[in-house]
Amino acid sequence: MHLTQDDNKIQQTPLLKVQQLSIDNETGQSLVKDLSFDLYPEQTVALVGESGSGKSMSALALLGLLPDNLKVQGKIELEGLNLLALDQPKLQRIRGKRIAMIFQEPLTALNPLHSVEKIIGESFYLQGDAKTEIQQKVLALLQDVGMVEAEHVLKCYPHELSGGQRQRVLIAMVLALEPDILIADEPTTALDVLLQAQILERLKSIQQQRKMAMIFISHDLNLVKRYADHVLVLNQGELEEQGPSAEIFARPQSVYTQSLLNHDFGQALVLPLAETLLELNKVTVKYPIKHGVLNRVTAYQIATESVSLSLMQGEALGVVGESGSGKSSLALAIARLIASEGEIYFQAQDINQLDQKQLRPLRREIQIVFQDPFGSLNPRLSVEQIIAEGLSLHSISKQQCEVEIAEVLAKVELPVDIRHTYPHQLSGGQRQRVALARALILKPKLIILDEPTSALDRTTQLAIIQLLRRLQQQEQMSYVFISHDLQVIKALCQKVLVMHQGKALEYQATALLFSQPQTEYTCQLISASEY
């Protein structure tokens, strides 16, 4: 565990001083109120709180990246320089070199038109480095952040990478800038627990080498406890309490902080026997590798290999494993969004044998909630239009449509008036609820959830789990639930499939998996996820 620096920081001069930072919207509503803290060299300050508590907004204010319609007051001093008084050209010289940020959603932060080599190497190119030197530096950075087969990844584009790979590319891109202050906004959200520890250990090592300070925004209090020196707890834009990490976790002063630290999600439901809804028999997903001028297929990369399982009506299956282990590929194969070999029986029909016309009636029965809600929600549509999109294919009156939208918003615990807003106006947690509402409104038999709670704080995670558990009980909803968080899996799923390098390592009842894990890899996952 990283030792706190709160004891010796008194002898240092703050690198950054935030004094009474306040952010109001155009109607005068306070989004952040009188936030003050100091940041010292090599220190890690964590911002924690529920979605919409002002964590990311406060970080964006440091870089001058807030929209013009927001009113920012107070002082943000970087070694005596008030950042709030600087114009955009001067701020641009601060961004990246002095203060850099790892954003929460890597797919939206990475240029889709550039390869990994060009994305990470851009800063080296601007410095005038030679092409061969740039490639070596990029490779070194990719290896530093734990990228497997780094040389192969160089020529890839963001859409060709897994969520975890994209996150690592983003971290490498920011580290290439060698900033004095690194703002890490949920930097390991898409990564499994083993890689989370690996990357954060690497970040801490680089931080100490360069005497770099870090502002760590995370909903994962296990990581905050292990890697932060000082913690600020935000509640609806106001500072609830702050102090040394060890003190906050040992003796939280406010009821709000105590509720954040409560990580008991309860136990998965005990279900009666039911009919089999989904059955997989030796399902294999492989992607063609193409080479040459004619783009011919020369080999295949195996994403999942001979996976077999069954799922009852009303049952939840948890799928766990490291980034790139084939979890999402398996989910896409079940939804018939990518081709696969083997048999996939859904309601006793092998959907791999159905053509698109035959498959269309089943599309309503199988819905998917993607890992990145911001990327999967159409930015040009309002929440109401996004949720109603699936209903437009059915003969439903406008009045009935509005009733169903109101009902499903209530189910995911969102206010009805949110239907007129757009995705960019919502917090990460709100966007995930909208994505869930879009799936639920079609009343499917099976929902595939790909990391639906990874970007959410503990309080919101608990609310989503309770919601999913209630739907499971009341409406016999079945889930294939992909997650890196074993505590969430334990609270919701009756069975668990552990995947590693495309293969199914373990497949058994959840209680048995946690009490009697069969492989060393599963033991490591369980150990790393313990609070």
Which tens digits make up the pLDDT trace of 80-95? Answer: 899 999 988 989 889 8
Higher pLDDT, 387 or 394: 387
Q: Note whether residue 92 is domain-resident.
A: yes
* 94 and 186 belong to one structural domain: yes
pTM assigned to the model: 0.78
The share of the chain scoring above pLDDT 90, in percent, equals: 53
What three-state secondary structure class fits 216?
A: strand
* 54 and 185 belong to one structural domain: yes
pLDDT at 2 over 50: no
Q: Are 331 and 414 in contact (CB under 8 A)?
A: no
Q: Write out the residue range of the structural domain in which residue 171 sits.
A: 104-178
pLDDT at 344 over 90: yes
* 83 and 189 belong to one structural domain: yes
* 84 and 140 belong to one structural domain: no
Q: Note whether residue 383 is domain-resident.
A: no
Which tens digits make up the pLDDT trace of 194-208? Answer: 778 877 887 888 888
Whole-angstrom Cα distance, residue 25 to residue 70? 5
* 83 and 110 belong to one structural domain: no
- In the predicted model, what is the mean pLDDT of the chain? 88
* 66 and 186 belong to one structural domain: yes
Query: What pLDDT score was predicted for residue 361?
Result: 87
pLDDT at 421 over 80: yes
Q: Are 253 and 241 in contact (CB under 8 A)?
A: yes
Average pLDDT over every residue of 33-40? 95
* 15 and 76 belong to one structural domain: yes
Whole-angstrom Cα distance, residue 42 to residue 78? 15
Strand ranges in 8-114 using DSSP code E only, listed in sequence order? 16-24, 30-39, 44-48, 71-78, 81-82, 99-102
User: Model confidence at 1, in pLDDT bands (50, 70, 90)?
Assistant: very low
* 229 and 123 belong to one structural domain: no
* 189 and 77 belong to one structural domain: yes
User: Model confidence at 10, in pLDDT bands (50, 70, 90)?
Assistant: very low
Query: What pLDDT score was predicted for residue 358?
Result: 92
Query: What pLDDT score was predicted for residue 311?
Result: 96
Q: How many domains does the chain have?
A: 2
Q: Note whether residue 295 is domain-resident.
A: no
Query: What pLDDT score was predicted for residue 352?
Result: 95
Q: Note whether residue 82 is domain-resident.
A: yes
- CATH number of domain containing 20: 3.40.50.300
Q: Note whether residue 162 is domain-resident.
A: yes
Whole-angstrom Cα distance, residue 385 to residue 421? 10
Q: Note whether residue 184 is domain-resident.
A: yes
* 71 and 184 belong to one structural domain: yes
Q: Note whether residue 117 is domain-resident.
A: yes
pLDDT at 38 over 80: yes
Q: What is the residue type of 463?
A: A
Q: Note whether residue 530 is domain-resident.
A: no
Whole-angstrom Cα distance, residue 454 to residue 18? 29
pLDDT at 33 over 70: yes
Q: Rounded to a whole number, what is the distance in angstroms from the first to the last CA of the chain?
A: 13
* 52 and 13 belong to one structural domain: yes
Least confident of 5-9, 288-292, 442-446: 5-9
pLDDT at 11 over 60: no
* 91 and 123 belong to one structural domain: no
Query: What pLDDT score was predicted for residue 6?
Result: 52
Higher pLDDT, 307 or 194: 307
Which range in 22-31, 48-57, 371-380 is most confidently predicted, on average pLDDT?
22-31
Q: Domain ends where: 178, 205, 240?
A: 178
Average pLDDT over every residue of 155-161? 90
Whole-angstrom Cα distance, residue 349 to residue 329? 21
pLDDT at 34 over 80: yes
Query: What pLDDT score was predicted for residue 3?
Result: 43
Phi/psi at 444 (5° precision): -75, 165
pLDDT at 178 over 90: no
